[in-house]
Amino acid sequence: MTARSTDHGGAAPNVALDRFYRLYGAIGFLPIMLVVLIVLFAIFVPHFLVLPNVLNVLRSSSYLVILAVGQMLVLMVGGFDLSVGAVVALTSVSSALVMAGLKGQMADQPALIILAGVLAGLGCGFLVGLVNGLCVAFLSVSPFMVSLGTASIATGSALLLTNGIPVYGMPVGYVDGFGRGLWFKLPSAVYLAIAIVAVVFVLQNFTRMGRYIVAIGGNLQAAIVSGVPTRFYLVATYVLCSVFASISGLALTAQIGSGQAAINSQLTLESIAAAVIAGVSLKGGVGKVEMVALGALFLLILTNAMDLLTIDPRIQTIFLGIIVVLAVALDELSTRRTRRV
């Protein structure tokens, strides 16, 4: 019954609102909203439900899904990862540099070049996640601050390595075959996202780690006392999140065709937004990967519609900010009702 650290006194109760939130929790706000949104946009937004656009949305949301799933895991252990966007940039840059650098020597072995690049990219994610995880688990410092620090380091490194200029020279097979290719009519990234969602689904429901993640986020003391190796799993979670960010970065880079340090700077916020919309609690211990995938889809359908309606991307940024705050507000208000002292 310890007080929450930022509890400054709650809002007054309201019975009708109470019922609304219980409904929200039971049925799942998100799937309904998603369907409503799709129907609305199909009717009112030009060129929304045509095949090229649908493929576009699916492809774009795949990158976010992978990112958001990683963020979800970190949120579930009661943490936060503000460095995912920076990891994407660093991965993009390092994988492109390695691949471009090896092109001269191994021109006849594109597979090896690609492998080297991929490993370099994943290595970056692994490293950043390791730093984040170790600091949080062993130094007990705030995950917000650590990831802010590593984000700065990662972004700075990415800029330093490229001087802000895009890196070209990745193997054609990588870019056209993987990045921009269609496998059985669907963008390759979609399969990647589905694979990752499947893996995490198994993780959450069928492995020890899945339970431990909930335990660590739900009641760290209980987990420690029960003999859960909390530090190990904390580090593992942060590493997993950053590696997922790397994977997303690799796929995104392949699609763009060049390594960019300035790659989409909103990704971090979008990953958090997708997770929160999907019902992942900022306090930890709550989250389902299927919902997060839907959350990412939701966000991207919204952005896509705004693009089609030619709403300035800069204004879209403003909307994103508002959406995040509202989503979190809703989450906070609903948990306040259902929380048992």
Partner 1 sequence: MVESSLAETPRAAQAAAREDLLLEMTRISKRFPGVLALDDVDFDLRAGEVHVLFGENGAGKSTLINIIAGAFAPDAGEFKFRGRSLVRLKPHAARMMGISPVFQEFSLVPELTVEENLFLGRELGAGGFLNHAAMRAKARSVIGELGFDILPDQKVGALSRAHQQMVEIAKAFLTEVRLLILDEPTASLTEAETQNLFALVGRLKSAGVGIIYVSHRIQEFQKIGDRITVLRDGRKIATVKSGDVSESELVELMTGRKVGVLFPSIDHRPAAKLLEVEDVTLSDRSARNVSFYARAGEITGIAGLVGCGKSEIVRAVYGLEAIASGTVRIGDEEMAVRPTPIDMLRRGVCYFPSDRVAEGLALGRPVRENASMAALDLPTFSQASILRRASERRAIQGIVDKLKLRPPQIERTVAKLSGGNRQKVLLARGMTRDISVFLFDEPTVGIDVGAKIEVYELMKSLVAEGAAIVLVSSELPEVMNLSNRLYVMHRSQMVAELSGADINEAEIFSHFFREKRPEDGLAPARSAMAT
Partner 2 sequence: MSDVDVALRARETPAGGLWRSLLAVLLPILIVAMELGVYFIEPRVLSAGNLRNILIQSSYLVLFASAQMVVILTRGFDLSLGASVSAISVASALVMTGLDAGDAAPWIVVAAGLVTGLGFGFLVGLFNGGFISWLGINPFVVTLGSLNICLGLATTMSGGRPVFNVPDPFSSLLYNGKLIPGVPVPVMLAAAVCILLYFLLDHTVFGRALYLIGNNPRAALLAGLPSRRYLLVAYILGALLAAFGALMLTARTGSGEPNLGGSLMLESIAAAVIGGVSLQGGVGGVIPVILGSLFITMMSNAMNLLRIDGYIQQILLGVIIIAAIFLDRIRSTRA
- Which residues of the chain form contacts with partner 2 (CB under 8 A)? 3, 5-11, 80, 131, 135, 139-142, 144-146, 148-157, 159-160, 163, 266, 269, 272, 276, 282, 312, 314-322, 324-325, 328-329, 332-333, 336
249 binds partner 1 (CB under 8 A): no
Binding to partner 1 (CB under 8 A) within 179-218 occurs at 206-209, 211, 214-215, 217-218
Residue with Cβ nearer partner 2 (49 or 141):
141
Nearest to 247 by CA among 69, 100, 122, 73: 122
Q: What is the DSSP letter of 213?
A: H
How far apart are the C-alpha atoms of 227 and 114, rounded to whole Å? 42
Residue where the block lists tokens 């949120």: 75
From 37-45, 220-228, 235-243, 323-331, span contacting partner 1 (CB under 8 A): 220-228
Residue with Cβ nearer partner 1 (26 or 51):
26
* CA angle at 278 for the pair 276 and 283, rounded to the nearest 5°: 45
The binder of 141, among partner 1, partner 2, none, by C-beta within 5 to 8 A per type, is partner 2
Tell me how long the chain is.
Answer: 341
User: Cβ of residue 236: shortest distance to partner 2, in angstroms?
Assistant: 20
Q: Is 259 helix (H, G, I), strand (E, B) or coil?
A: strand
* CA angle at 194 for the pair 207 and 297, rounded to the nearest 5°: 115
Q: Site mask, partner 1, residues 266-305, x = CB under 8 A? A: -------------------xx-------------------
* Site size for partner 1 (CB under 8 A): 27
Q: Which residues pair with 317 in a beta bridge?
A: none
How far apart are the C-alpha atoms of 105 and 155, rounded to whole Å? 29
- The letter for the amino acid at 237 is T
Cite the beta strand spans of 157-199 per DSSP E. 182-183, 186-187
The binder of 78, among partner 1, partner 2, none, by C-beta within 5 to 8 A per type, is none
Residues that bind partner 1 (CB under 8 A): 1-3, 12-13, 206-209, 211, 214-215, 217-219, 221-228, 285-286, 340-341
